Every structure is written in structure tokens, then in C-alpha cells.
Amino acid sequence: MVKMVENEKCCHIIAEDVENAVVLEGSPELGLIGNIVGWLLVEELKMKEIGYIESKYFPPLAVLYKGVAIQPFRIYSANELVIFLSDFVVPSHVTYDMTNVIVEWMERNHSKEIITLNSIAVREKTNGVAGAANTEDGLKRLGELEIPVLPFGNINGISGTLLTRSHTGNIPGTCLFAEVLNQYPDPRAAASVVDVLNRMLDIKLDADPLLKEAEEIESRLKELAQAVKGEQESPAYM
């Protein structure tokens, strides 16, 4: 049954109930990690769209998927997994209210945990993944998986708000951070997150499509750099 979870200010969810699920959140922050991993989950696990989030404060857009216009912030489910997947950066003035309706939906459905997907800017990549949690048990779990913990800093946007709001609702929360150099899409960094999710959730997502995409992007960038270098080295004539 499709039910609505709404907020008196600006957001509401129209979605089916899925009880006892692990919930993931993917939004296009630096490197588009959450968005890239989210789409891989949908494709690889053949996830069913079970609903969406609406707000009059969302940007005016629809997302084209295989030629069909779909909602820009959708909810998918398969195999006791649910993902809240956005194709736009959630406006900061909407984040708090959106987080509330997500957590209210989770509380009603007795969700097991929330895992948000994010990134951290570094000067030099090791293709590692770091983590943070909203409980001591969550930190212990990260340690057992040999995932380094970020000891200090701020978690901006929907990831940070979800961690704190889910904690008040007694829902375990974890944030995974991929290493990125800039704001551009980084499929290789997303593949590192996929490897961690496979271990955390005992699933078998294939990261090879992301690595292939990364190689293609890196090859194009290398060709572009060589072309620019060639132009700079070409002789000047008077």
C-alpha cells in the first residue's frame, strides 16, 4: 500500500511501506558518489521504484531514464534494501524537513539502519573509504571492517542531518566517504564504496562497470591533457 508521510512545512513522501529494511541514501555531492552507487544498486539488484519525495522547493526538473520522465527524488526497494536516490543537490533550506520525513518513514517501518553515501576532498587519492557513525557500536563495526574513522570535522548536507536525526530515533546510522579530488564524477571512487557495501551488507554488487567507466574518463582526460600540451609546445610564428 502506498502511504504518505508529510511534513507541515515543505516535504512529503508518497511510498509503499517496506518493513525491517536497511536504508541507503544517495545524493550527488562531490564526485557524485551517492548518485553513481545508487544507480548501480538500482540496475544490478533490479530494484523496484516504490515511491518518491515531493517538495515545492525542489528545482523544476524531471529526470529522463531510458526516455521516460521520472521523479527527481525517488525511492527504490529490493531484497530488504531501500534507497532514497536524488538526482539533484537537496537545497539546504529543505534538508531538515526532508530528513524528518525520511526518518519518520523509517521509524514507522522499523528500519534496521541508515547508510549515507558521501565523499571527502583529498589532495592525493589512495582509493580508500572512510566512515563515521552515530553510535559506538557503529564505530566498532567500522573497525571490524577495517574502515578508518574520521575523528573530527563536519558532515554537511543531508548525510549529516540524517545521522543526527536517526540517532534521536534510535536508528543506527553510518556515513561512508569516498576520496575525491574535485566535484567531477568519480566512478573509481564510487567503486571503492561498492566494495565496502558488499562487505557491510553481505551483497554482491559488481563494480566492474564503474571501473570501466573510470578508465574511459581517465583515457579521455589523458588525451585532452596531451592535446593541450601539444598546443602549448607548438612554435609561434611572427
> Model confidence over 52-65: pLDDT tens digits?
999 989 989 889 88
pTM of the model: 0.86
Distance of CA 196 to the CA centre of its chain: 13
Residue 109 near residue 169 (C-beta atoms within 8 A): no
In a domain, 224, yes or no: no
In a domain, 56, yes or no: yes
Banded pLDDT at 124 (limits 50, 70, 90): confident
pLDDT tens-place string over residues 8-33: 558 889 999 999 999 999 998 888 99
Separation between Cα atoms, residue 13 and residue 232, nearest integer Å: 54
- Name the residue with cell 566498532: 140
How many folded domains does the chain comprise? 1
- Name the residue with cell 553510518: 174
Banded pLDDT at 227 (limits 50, 70, 90): low
In a domain, 14, yes or no: yes
Q: What mean pLDDT is predicted for residues 166-176?
A: 95
In a domain, 227, yes or no: no
Residue 184 CA: distances (Å) to CA of 7, 45, 107: 33, 26, 35
CATH of the domain at 38: 3.40.50.10900
Residue 201 CA: distances (Å) to CA of 23, 36, 94, 168, 223: 11, 18, 30, 23, 38
In a domain, 60, yes or no: yes
* CA-CA-CA-CA torsion sign (99, 96, 143, 148): positive
Using a 10 angstrom Cβ sphere, with 0-12 exposed, 13-18 middle and 19 or more buried, the burial of residue 138 is buried
In a domain, 231, yes or no: no
- Name the residue with cell 557495501: 197
In a domain, 235, yes or no: no
The mean pLDDT of the chain is 87
In this structure, of 43-52, 90-99, 176-185, 221-230, the range with the lowest mean pLDDT score is 221-230
In a domain, 219, yes or no: no
Domain containing residue 72 = 2-206
Report which of residues 52 and 183 the model is more confident about. 52
